Amino acid sequence: MERELETLFEAQKIETMIMEGEQKLLQAPKKLRQMEDQLTEVRDKIEKEKEIVEELEKERRKKEKELEGEKEKIKKLEVKLYDVKTNKEYQALLKEIESAKEANDRTEEDVLVLMDKVEDLKKDYETSQVELKRLEKESEIERAEIEKETRSMDEVIAKLTTERDNLLSIVSENLRTTYNILREKRGGIAVTNVRNGVCLGCNMNIPPQLFIEVTKNKQLIQCPSCNRILFFREDD
């Protein structure tokens, strides 16, 4: 019996490794999705920054065009100064020219402010692009690693599964059935060690007399609380 229990214990160890591997396999698509989301976020940010820059550039061009038109108008008004007949007309024209020039000064000021803004935003935009490039490169490397890991994990799991099945094939059918049922019902853990009178599967105390029996590994003993098969190994 001791030999069979030990075999089950070893099969359980492999079982646990298989579960860990499967857990890792489940994590892989999640990780890939997270990476993709992060990239999308940065790309969206860049797109927004680009739109704002374009909007401001458009506004700047519009103002510059306005400015050109106004300057042209002022030139014409200045030419007109030579043709006016009365002082009153002359003064009125001068006033018109003056206020047009003042308006132009304000527009020029606006253009400068816009140019400053655009320059700052372009810097942000370039920084974001560098960030995106870096992220893309990192993601590429990580994706390749995850895919490689997944492939080798598949192989490892297949190998472990064969090992486990080989071990299970050499125990009695009764034990194998008990093992399989418990594995299904107890989250993949059918066999568990005991330490200091405590079942390591459910952390419940085992009656002292039963614990002594368990440490002998001479018979099939199941935890009174979780039903798992108990096996005693001091250093494991």
Site residues, Zn ion (CB under 5 A): 199, 201-202, 223, 225-226
CB of 17 to Zn ion, least distance (A): 21
Task: Note the Cα 137 to chain centre separation in Å.
Answer: 15
Burial of 104-138, coded b for 16+ CB within 10 Å and e otherwise, reads: beeeeebbeebeeebeebeeebeebeeeeeebeee
Which lies closer to Zn ion via its Cβ, residue 125 or residue 211?
211
Beta-carbon contacts of 57 under 8 Å, excluding residues fewer than 6 positions away, are 118
Q: Which is nearer to Zn ion, 82 or 208 (CB)?
A: 208
CB of 186 vs Zn ion, minimal distance in Å:
9
Could you tell me the smallest distance in angstroms from the CB atom of residue 14 to Zn ion?
Answer: 20
Residue whose CB is less far from Zn ion, 21 or 201: 201
Closer of 53 and 182 to Zn ion (Cβ): 182
61: tokens are: 């061009």
Amino acid identity for residue 115 in this structure: M
Which one-letter amino acid corresponds to residue 205? N
d(CA 9, CA 61) in angstroms, rounded, equals 78
How many Å apart are CA 190 and CA 179, to the nearest integer?
6
How far is the CA of 16 from the CAs of 5, 119, 190, 233, in angstroms?
Answer: 16, 58, 10, 17
Nearer to Zn ion, 128 or 217 (CB): 217
Q: How far is the CB of 167 from Zn ion (least distance, A)?
A: 22
> Two tokens at 47?
């797109």
Nearer to Zn ion, 113 or 204 (CB): 204
User: Among candidates 64, 98, 107, 104, which has minimal Cα distance to 78?
Assistant: 98
Least spacing, CB of residue 198 vs Zn ion, in Å: 9
CB of 165 to Zn ion, least distance (A): 25
Tokens of 160: 């472990």
